[in-house]
């Protein structure tokens, strides 16, 4: 099995292209994803990205580290756009099909060797914006969908205690939920994300978008202005304009290319 290891702000992925692995099928890859993502005995990653084609367009399928499927991954989509750009299957602007629909991407290389790129993604419109109580929270969290479910905490005074409640809160929502813990810092946000199917991550693109939407809805950020979101693995730029949607810009980098020798269904 041929693969590319890539990351966006430290949110790392094993990118597996159907064109480069004609004998491999998605259900087989899903079954092996937890072993591949294991950091001591596998390749190590937050998830696996399956790049295929449908109706003549590139399509991304997101497999979480625990083998569950996710509708969308913002950092992952930037990595897939970079992958497709290098292979001539995507121009500087194009669409990629995802579980959240067809999303527009703009990608440009930022290194001479092609290992780094900067990618902007139109993330679509936030949906189902509401407030939801969680056990032990003095105030409800803002819940919304960015193609996948998010709950955003913006309570500055209760920040440390809320971080400790994350794993319990994730189990309160049927099917799981991505939990974003955000604090306003100047004109930007500081963010930590507990990701559904993965746990704490160095970065989460959809989480950054959800946090900016929630902060804008609360009046903590002005609409339409680019916002720097600082995560443990780096920074993303997010712009939310109600009625027009959400744009996210950030890096995508290739760590290495690799292969699993022998039967691709017996990876470890």
* Triad 105, 110, 115: Cα angle to 5°: 90
Flag the least confident range among 153-167, 185-199, 236-250.
153-167
Q: Which residue has the tokens 């946000």?
A: 189
Average of per-residue pLDDT across 203-225? 97
Instruction: Lowest mean pLDDT of 19-28, 136-145, 212-221, name the range.
Output: 136-145
Structural domain for 66, as ranges:
2-121+252-259
- What integer pLDDT is reported at residue 265 of this predicted model? 47
- 82: tokens are 């970079």
DSSP string of 147-185, one letter each residue = SSEEEEE--STTHHHHHHTHHHHHHHSTT--EEEEEEEE
pLDDT for residue 105: 98
Q: How large is the average pLDDT for residues 234-261?
A: 96
In terms of domains, do 154 and 185 share one? yes
Annotated active-site positions, please?
73, 204
Q: Are residues 116 and 7 in the same domain?
A: yes
pLDDT band for 158, please (50, 70, 90 cuts): confident
Residue 268 in this model has a pLDDT that exceeds 70: no
Of 5-14, 50-59, 157-166, 220-229, which range is least confident?
A: 157-166
Six token digits for residue 43: 């390749």
In a domain? residue 49: yes
pLDDT tens digits along 75-119: 999 999 999 999 999 988 999 999 999 999 999 999 999 999 999
Residue 19 has pLDDT above 60, yes or no: yes
Q: Given a cut of 60, is residue 267 above it in pLDDT?
A: no
Domains contained in the chain, number: 2
The verdict on 117 and 139 lying in the same domain is: no
Q: 68 and 84: one domain?
A: yes
State the pLDDT at residue 151. 97
Same domain, yes or no, for 197 and 232? yes
The residues that bridge with 151 in the sheet, in sequence order, are 143, 179
Determine the pLDDT at residue 163: 83
Helix, strand, or coil here: 19? helix
Does 28 fall in a domain? yes
Phi, psi for 137 (deg, rounded to 5)? -90, 130
Residue 30 has phi, psi (to 5 degrees) of: -60, -45
Residue 155 sits in the same domain as residue 175: yes
CA atoms within 13 A on the CB side of 14: 28
Lowest-pLDDT choice from 54-68, 105-119, 163-177 = 163-177
Q: Are residues 238 and 139 located together in one domain of the fold?
A: yes
Per the prediction, the chain carries an average pLDDT of: 94
Q: Are both 57 and 113 inside the same structural domain?
A: yes
SS3 227: strand
In a domain? residue 103:
yes
Q: Say whether pLDDT at 264 is over 70.
A: no
Same domain, 219 and 237: yes
3-22 average pLDDT score? 98
Residue 237 lies in a domain: yes
CATH number for position 131: 3.10.310.10
Measure the CA–CA gap between 110 and 116, rounded to whole angstroms: 5
CA separation for the pair 225, 243 (Å, rounded): 14
Lookup result for tokens 């995508």: 252
**Contacts (Cβ under 8 Å, ≥6 apart) of 114:** 86, 254
Look at residue 46 and tell me if it is in a domain: yes
Do 112 and 30 share a structural domain?
A: yes
Give the per-residue pLDDT at 266. 57
- Residue 62 in 3-state DSSP? strand
In a domain, 192, yes or no: yes
Contacts of 148 (CB under 8 A, 6+ apart): 70, 71, 72, 73, 99, 100, 178, 196, 206
Contacts of 156 by beta carbon, 8 Å cutoff, 6+ apart: 183, 184
Give pTM, 2 decimals.
0.94
Answer yes or no: do 153 and 206 share one domain.
Answer: yes
Same domain, 112 and 140: no
State the Rg of the chain over Cα: 18
pLDDT beyond 50 at 216: yes
CA distance 102 to 215: 26
Beta strands 178-185 and 149-153 are parallel
In this structure, is residue 148 part of a structural domain? Answer: yes
Is residue 247 domain-resident? no
Helix (H, G, I), strand (E, B) or coil at 125: coil
Q: Alpha-carbon distance 227 to 216, whole Å?
A: 10
């Amino acid at each position: 099995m041929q693969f590319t290891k890539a990351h966006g702000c430290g949110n790392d992925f094993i990118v597996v292209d159907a064109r480069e692995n004609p004998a491999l099928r998605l259900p087989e890859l899903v079954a092996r994803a937890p072993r591949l993502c294991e950091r001591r005995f596998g390749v190590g990653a937050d998830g696996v990205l399956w790049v295929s084609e449908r109706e003549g367009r590139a399509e991304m399928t997101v497999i979480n580290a625990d083998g569950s499927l996710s509708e969308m991954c913002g950092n992952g989509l930037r990595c897939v756009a970079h992958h497709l750009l290098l292979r001539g299957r995507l121009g500087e602007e194009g669409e990629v099909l995802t579980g959240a629909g067809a999303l527009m991407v703009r990608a440009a290389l930022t290194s001479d060797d092609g290992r780094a790129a900067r990618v902007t993604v139109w993330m679509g419109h936030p949906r189902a914006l509401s407030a939801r109580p969680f056990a032990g929270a003095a105030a409800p969290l803002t819940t919304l969908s960015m193609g996948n479910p998010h709950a955003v905490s913006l309570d500055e005074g209760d920040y440390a205690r809320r971080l400790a409640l994350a794993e319990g809160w994730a189990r309160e929502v049927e099917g799981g939920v991505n939990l974003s813990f955000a604090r306003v810092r100047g004109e930007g946000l500081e963010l930590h994300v507990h990701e559904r199917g993965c746990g704490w991550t160095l970065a989460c693109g959809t989480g950054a978008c959800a946090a900016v939407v929630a902060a804008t809805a609360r009046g903590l950020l002005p609409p339409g202005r680019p916002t720097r979101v600082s995560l443990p693995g780096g920074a993303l730029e997010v712009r939310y304009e109600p009625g027009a949607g959400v744009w996210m810009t950030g890096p995508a980098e290739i760590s290495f290319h690799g292969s699993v020798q022998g039967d691709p269904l017996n990876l470890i």
